[in-house]
Chain A
Amino acid sequence: MSDLQRPRAIRSATDTPPSRLLEHDRHVTVSGRPIPLLATPADVADLDYDRDLGDPGRYPFTRGVHADLYRGKLWTMRQFAGFGTAEDTNRRYRFLLERGQTGLSVAFDLPTLMGRDADDPWSAGEVGHCGVSIGSLDDMQTLFAGIPLADVSTSMTINSPAAIIWAMYIAAAEAQGADVAKLRGTLQNDILKEFIAQKEFIFPPEPSLKLVTDTIAFGARHLPQFNTVSISGYHIREAGSTAVQELAFTLADGFAYVDAALAAGLAIDDFAPRLSFFFNSHLDLFEEVAKFRAARRIWARHMRERYHAKNPRSWLLRFHTQTAGCSLTAQQPHLNIVRTAYEALAGVLGGTQSLHTNSMDEALALPSEEAVEIALRTQQILALEIGVADTVDPLAGSYYVESMTSRLEAEAEAYFARIAELGGVVAALQEGFFQREIADAAHWYQMALERKQRIVVGVNEFVNAGERQAIPLLRIDPEVARSQVRKLADLRSRRDNLAVQSALAAVAQAARDGDNLMPPFIAAVKVHATLGEIVGTLKTIYGEYIEPIVI
């Protein structure tokens, strides 16, 4: 095959002979799905345009949620950032806003994500490392100092303690004099995928889901422009799932939130329009495009036909995309620019509403400024230079992409049936079903790399001999942790500790009574209860979760 001979010219003496590539069937997607040599009209014989595709902006939205997609409005280029103290990150945000960015995306450090204060022993070595450390309303106000929250849209990547962090955000906005009802942004707040994949859970599934339902109900009533849950497949994919697992498990999570909100007495059209999604865009271009198209179609069908939503906005699956961090390599890191560009292309061809392109060194460390700029420029080239943003859903009608879209939908439906058999998402995750499926897929992929059924350039083929793994060092000044600890001690000494005690007691009471926790959370953060104190109070009532072991 000529495509195997071509790289010969660039081979170095240390390369594996390309003849080895022929030893295994390589004609599978990154998910292990066999790729046909040729797709034909027979593959789409059952496809009905009006029923299965529809024009863009029309049910079932396979072709996109807007009639004019990117001509009307380009996707949002939303790069995720956060590190060190609230002051450090605030400076970065103001820099980005001065350069015309209109949306912020907050990355929190691990202790914050796990609901622990900076002075908790578990936080040692982690404060400010992978994001910003936020432990109190003071930190939140510092994070957004000089940034009018009434005017920006803020995305916050946080899950277990999302409701408390949101309470801090709302209190910070109020303190700025903003009209809370007009706040815009997105909370990730997707606890189910934490149990399934990312493992940043604190409480058991049922009370965790209850906290999500509280935010959905509170948002529907008080912050109608805030996306309360960003149902995320990204982390499921990063944990090693296949494309169809990402699709099926994410949508199953979405349905579980809908079921929980309905069970809490909400009306479908009051909250469904505020549910958004977040997918991974991996290397297999066509499979990814098919996945995005299938996702829209499945969601629309279920929302309209199963949940009887009447508001067309409830039928729309709007999503953010991030290119696949797990596809990046430490070897020859500049190649990651190319991988990211292809993955971004898949997101755009799939009709994403917003996009984060990884920096070439992102999987390894805090990205350098140059790398961040290249990542952003990649999106600009996609949007403005190569013509893919000017027409909607250009791959529609492709025998290959359409048949894969339908197949992914059918396979996702089979997963939904299996999950229902197991008693729903919560029962299935307690039994380890998702974890087992993902671990099997991750293992397959690793073995495929080791037997060279999958090639990763620079890692298992075309390796540069003697390459040093020059991973840029992530050095967060230990002073960050010390200053956070000092700030906490100072806060605890000057706040009204009696008020804190009674606010925490109110949180505990509401948790025991099953009331919506948002009002007591807001009250507690306003008297400067810390994140760790509020989470600690909830732990005494909800307990902590230990997951089943699946290898």
Chain B
Amino acid sequence: MERADTERTIRVLVAKAGLDGHDRGAKVVARALRDAGMEVIYTGIRQTPAMIAEAAVQEDVDAVGLSLLSGAHMHIFPEVLRLLREKGGDDILLTGGGCIGDEDMAALAALGVGRLFGPGASTREIVAYIRAEVASRRAPT
């Protein structure tokens, strides 16, 4: 039987952007999203913003989760967001995590980046956030 649009399997692209290879967080989150019933497209480390945005479009994901620990977040998040919009992926949620201060989080949120999770965030919080945010984006407006 067909399922309602809001019940479709959630697809999330999980990527490590830039040169930083510390993938512990990305992997723990990828596993948690899978265990929550989502389809996780894992791109691995060393992705450029262009690769991330294009993969997100090809995979028709509901959300992109970026893990960034190197301090390049003010460069990479806006760039991924810009490219997603350029490629018609305006409705794709861009979220992520890493060492990002409140001030930077606010600046990125103002650009349209979703919630960013700092050190110590629980995977349950992340799962709940993605579910709620995707549901609200899918709901007819």
Contacts and interface: CB of A to CB of B under 8 A. Distances in A.
Asked if A and B form a direct contact in the complex, defined as CB atoms under 8 angstroms apart, the reply is: yes
Interface of A: 110-111, 113-114, 116, 121-126, 129-130, 194, 198-201, 238-240, 326, 329-331, 363-365, 439, 442-443, 446, 449-450, 456, 459-460, 468-474, 476, 546-547, 549-551
Contacts of A468: 102
Given A365-B99, A469-B118, A472-B101, A198 B22 contact: yes
B19 A442 contact: no
B37 interface: no
B119 interface: yes
Interface stretch (B2-10, B26-34, B88-96): B26-34
Contact of A439 (B18, B31, B34, B70): B31
Q: Which of A116, A194, A239 has the most CB of B within 10 A?
A: A239
A450 B119 contact: no
B136 interface: no
A329 B31 contact: no
A443 B118 contact: no
Given A199-B45, A474-B71, A450 B102 contact: no
> Which of A123, A469, A476 is packed against the most chain B CB atoms within 10 Å?
A469
Contact of B119 (A122, A364, A439): A364
Given A364-B99, A471-B100, A473-B104, A125 B31 contact: no
A287 B72 CA distance: 36
A110 to B, nearest CB: 4
A443 B31 contact: yes
Given A122-B48, A125-B76, A110 B24 contact: no
Enumerate the 8 nearest inter-chain pairs by beta-carbon distance, A residue then B residue, closest first: A199-B21, A125-B75, A125-B72, A471-B101, A330-B119, A110-B19, A459-B120, A129-B71
Given A329-B119, A470-B101, 11 more contacts: A121-B48, A122-B18, A126-B18, A126-B71, A126-B72, A130-B71, A239-B23, A330-B99, A331-B120, A550-B27, A551-B42
B123 A450 contact: yes
Contacts of A474: 71, 99
A548 to B, nearest CB: 10
A196 to B, nearest CB: 11
Interface string B76-119: 10000000000000000000000111111000000000000011
Contacts of B31: 439, 443, 551
Contact of B21 (A111, A200, A470): A200
A547 B45 CA distance: 9
B124 interface: yes
Given A114-B19, A125-B72, A443-B28, A547 B118 contact: no
A382 B136 CA distance: 55
20 contacts: A110-B19, A113-B19, A116-B19, A122-B48, A123-B19, A126-B18, A194-B21, A200-B19, A329-B119, A364-B119, A439-B31, A443-B27, A443-B31, A446-B32, A471-B99, A476-B71, A547-B45, A551-B31, A551-B40, A551-B42
Given A110-B70, A474-B71, A199 B23 contact: yes
Contact of A551 (B19, B27, B101, B120): B27
Nearest to A123: B19
A121 B42 CA distance: 23
B20 interface: yes
Given A443-B28, A551-B27, A551-B30, A129 B119 contact: no
B45 A363 contact: no
Nearest to B34: A551
B21 A442 contact: no
Contact of B20 (A110, A331, A439): A110
Contacts of A472: 101
Contacts of B76: 125
A330 B75 contact: no
A450 B120 CA distance: 10
B112 to A, nearest CB: 19
B29 to A, nearest CB: 9
A471 B117 CA distance: 13
B70 A126 contact: yes
Contacts of A439: 27-28, 31
Contacts of A110: 18-20, 70
Contacts of B104: 473
A400 to B, nearest CB: 30
Contact of A442 (B28, B34, B100, B103): B28
A386 B78 CA distance: 51
Nearest to B74: A125
A124 B18 CA distance: 9
Contacts of A125: 18, 71-72, 74-76
Nearest to B69: A130
A299 B42 CA distance: 38
A198 B72 contact: no
A238 B23 CA distance: 10
A254 to B, nearest CB: 22
B101 A469 contact: yes
Contacts of B102: 468-471
A520 B40 CA distance: 45
Interface in B107-141: 118-120, 122-124
Contacts of B32: 446
Nearest to B100: A471
Nearest to B30: A551
Contacts of A113: 19
Contacts of A198: 21-22
Contacts of A446: 28, 32, 123
